[in-house]
Structure 1
């Protein structure tokens, strides 16, 4: 049994925390991002990990930053053997990395060294990767540069959005985390340095990236739309209104239309011309409204062939 200090914030981390807390290991403390304003009332809302820890009466810490050693000094009193990190959102300084006798370990949602950084799920879809996974890695001061102890792989399907792939990887991480910690503390895992070839970085998604550029090949446009779904959501102007495009497929189609021009729109999809071929958008969201399948969207929003998005 290990005494574990857990650091994480979103649902991806919450699922792993649940499995560890339900196991024979002892989660002695949790660190998460501070509560943030959320919802129409903009009330402070604790993160999913924060909520889970409170429900289990596990001590929760929510520092804004970790640079000052005094902020995390109290964690040493918990006498944790190791730290488990999953999408925490803060960089761990040296004094935190060195705080735990057996080290700090991270659940990272990519097959390292590909997609180090903050947005590996979105970047994998946007790049057209066919496979991804979760790595159980040791942490260092470099960005996701530590050795990999174990990994589990999964395919990326053409119909995957960032949300769908996130949920699949969340389950994979949760299904394996207890066994990985078991094998770690019993010496059954070997640290493997990351390859120096094939390193890519998954930069945080900038909202400016979410504007759909239809002059690109349709394959790239569809990957971009799906990779940013549901958040922040790829968008375009339709009839003077900003509309999110939440799912699209691409298909070969010779056309003489301008990029962004609607070729046809019906219950089967909104077909839009791209620099090469077409995308067929089947899920959209107007500002202030819920996501809609294309048929429902078109019954409440008039579009016509020849209309240009953008």
Structure 2
């Protein structure tokens, strides 16, 4: 559905997005009174063992709804922007598109471009706001609907919605919650836009912080750090790139953990049997219970199963370099 059947749409809206995070926002548009005239998404990418081309989640959702889809590799040239001109949108809604919008695109729609960003701006501008908030131990986060300009997530704020970060919440869980919250905030922002009550508030650049892209190298656990910090890393890197540690010359993935204050004496990285027969690893401060791990070549398993099956043994030390 692309607007109310049998009536003029409230606005002609184009949408730009690519991953799962963007799908709830697209669906919010499809269920509203706007007319979704087209969807921009990144080109299909090879995925899986066969490296077959796989469409983005946004492309799948758009095609299911019967909405035209375009997949330019970039938007720098007139030829790549031609489809957007043909759609003649009043507004372009952007959610995790992943491509830079040049000035020509930002100024093309009559009402400009708005973005659904997964943080409470001006905090955590950039590519990885969800993971960075967890890594920093932030108590809350949220979404911001923002008027786009040429700077990095620096445009005026139109609407913000906050939520607490749960003490055991992973990046994957927070991602899904913020995707839903973003779609709700987008629907509210568009309702206010139609009513003429949507007001823009400039960001305070002095309060801006940045959330650079996550790298695989960051996911290696340094056992000299505190258990609290390491637990945040485990949560922030679930489901990608997954926290890991060197073990028996290979790489042990840690999917879920829990910090504890008291641990047996031992060099950081030393394994002991902890509560509920879970592996307990000594850290620079406190200890980390490994609730779910994945030994090399194995499926994910409970930490107790890894200890019982000999994949981890009391007295051995984690952190030896794994394979490159």
Query: TM-score scaled by structure 1?
Result: 0.96
Which structure carries more strand by proportion? 1
Superposition misfits of 4+ residues, deviation over 3 angstroms: 265-268, 286-290, 296-301
Alignment deviations for residues 246-286 of structure 1 (CA, whole Å, 9 cap, x no partner): 11121212543111111225755221111111111211123
Q: Judge conservation of contact 2:18–2:97 (CA < 8 Å) in 1.
A: yes
Q: Judge conservation of contact 1:120–1:202 (CA < 8 Å) in 2.
A: yes
Question: Cα–Cα, structure 1 residues 63 and 257, in superposed 2: closer, same or farther, change >3 Å?
Answer: same
1:196 is displaced (CA, Å) by 2.2
- In structure 2, the residue corresponding to 1:117 is in which secondary structure? coil
Question: Cα–Cα, structure 1 residues 126 and 268, in superposed 2: closer, same or farther, change >3 Å?
Answer: farther
Alignment deviations for residues 165-199 of structure 1 (CA, whole Å, 9 cap, x no partner): 11111111122322211212332111001122321
Who is 2:83 aligned against?
74
1:244 pairs, out of 214, 231, 253, with 253
Question: Cα–Cα, structure 1 residues 289 and 29, in superposed 2: closer, same or farther, change >3 Å?
Answer: farther
**Equivalent residue pairs, number:** 310
Matches within 5 A, 1:115-264: 115-253=124-262, 255-264=264-273
- In structure 1, the residue corresponding to 2:86 is in which secondary structure? helix
Query: 1-side partners of 2:36 and 2:192: how far apart?
Result: 17
Question: Cα–Cα, structure 1 residues 59 and 34, in superposed 2: closer, same or farther, change >3 Å?
Answer: same
RMSD over aligned Cα atoms: 1.5
Which deviates more from structure 2 when the two are superposed, residues 299-308 or residues 148-157?
299-308
**Which stretches in structure 2 are left out of the alignment for 5+ residues?**
1-9, 320-324
Question: Cα–Cα, structure 1 residues 43 and 173, in superposed 2: closer, same or farther, change >3 Å?
Answer: same
Q: Judge conservation of contact 2:114–2:146 (CA < 8 Å) in 1.
A: yes
Query: 2-side partners of 1:300 and 1:102: how far apart?
Result: 61
